Amino acid sequence: MAHGETFKYNYAIICRIPQTFQYKALRTKAGKPIDIDRARKEYDDLRDILKNCDVNVIELQEDENYPDCCFIEDCAVCIGGTALIARPGHTSRQGEVGEIRKVLKNDLKLNVEEIRNAKATLDGGDVLFTGKEIFVGIGKRTNDLGAAAVADFFPEYNVNSIAIGKCETLLHLKDVVNMAGRNIVAVGGGNDAETKEANYILTEMQSLAQYTYKILHLDNRAGVDMLYINGRLIHRTREEMGEKNYGVIDEKIPYTRHRVNLSELSKADGYISSMLLPIYKKKNQ
């Protein structure tokens, strides 16, 4: 895919939230109970925003057997007409990929690739595509073999692995780093441990990167939770990220922005990007 087409998407697959999400979704922190109605409202709001982002939204039915199925990003890595089916690092999520594979292959007719090595694990949330190269976080959910699969199936891009296993506050690489625009990488700290980990990841990225990016520094995880799609930025609300971060985004991002509250979904470690698979399908594909 030419770099000019980067971040141009014409489909987004999303998946409805099952009832089981309320009590059975995986959570890194046991906290306040999840209000399923509010979580579904957040999902509906995000779906409505996506409908205004020039993509055809494909909505999958929820599957009660998979409490985390709304976090569809973890099931595949889709870049430029190729979809690599992931191998989620948590066993309870591995079966989620079946339905996604069908849609990518049969409905969208993408070039669907499979990871052959049964020992590989790969969650889409660990894969950051900058438009020019790919970073893969090796940690709780993705291992070296998973990162090697990304390198095998996307040979046109430089694939850089970053060890994030020691970053205790992180489930996925993209909890702390996201694209805020073409060549703009947003990085988000937080408390002392979160800031230390964010700084470590930024340093690693900068030492491995083959390209130079502008860096947008934010100081909490809600602030860095964003998705750049078709020239627009979807991000969290002012209330969730705080005045300071909101001010940074206001100042630095001149293009159309959409705000979504994700405070219920984030109780189960959900982020905006985790809720969809953005896809670019070529006209004659």
What span, in angstroms and rounded, lies between the C-alpha atoms of 24 and 259?
28
Site mask, ligand CIR, residues 75-114, x = CB under 6 A? ---------------x--x---------------------
| Inter-CA distances, 39 with 15, 70, 72, 169, 255, Å | 13, 11, 15, 23, 28
Interface pick for ligand CIR out of 43, 233, 274, 280 (rule CB under 6 A): 274
Contact between 269 and ligand CIR by CB under 6 A: the answer reads: yes
For the record, the structure tokens of 277 come out as 């698979």
- Residue whose beta carbon is closest to ligand CIR: 125
> Scanning residues 163 to 182, which ones bind ligand CIR (CB under 6 A)?
172
- Checking phi first, is residue 16 left (phi over 0); if not, alpha (psi -120 to 50) or beta? beta
Interface pick for ligand CIR out of 66, 71, 157, 246 (rule CB under 6 A): 71
Interface pick for ligand CIR out of 3, 26, 163, 168 (rule CB under 6 A): 26
Of the pair 181, 270, the CB lying nearest ligand CIR is at 270
SS3 label, residue 85: strand
Order the strands of the 76-79 sheet from edge to edge. 76-79, 82-85, 111-113
What span, in angstroms and rounded, lies between the C-alpha atoms of 118 and 283?
34
Of the pair 103, 276, the CB lying nearest ligand CIR is at 276
Contacts of 107 (CB under 8 A, 6+ apart): 58
Of the pair 174, 232, the CB lying nearest ligand CIR is at 174
From 45-53, 65-73, 225-233, 247-255, span contacting ligand CIR (CB under 6 A): 65-73
Of the pair 80, 88, the CB lying nearest ligand CIR is at 88
Phi/psi at 212 (5° precision): -105, 140
Contact between 66 and ligand CIR by CB under 6 A: the answer reads: no
Residues 252, 245: contact at Cβ < 8 Å?
A: no
Nearest approach in angstroms of CB 240 to ligand CIR is: 16
Nearest approach in angstroms of CB 268 to ligand CIR is: 4
Residue 150's nearest CA partner among 168, 136, 137, 164 is 136
Which residues of this chain interact with ligand CIR, rule CB under 6 A?
25-26, 68, 71, 73-74, 90, 93, 125, 172, 268-271, 274
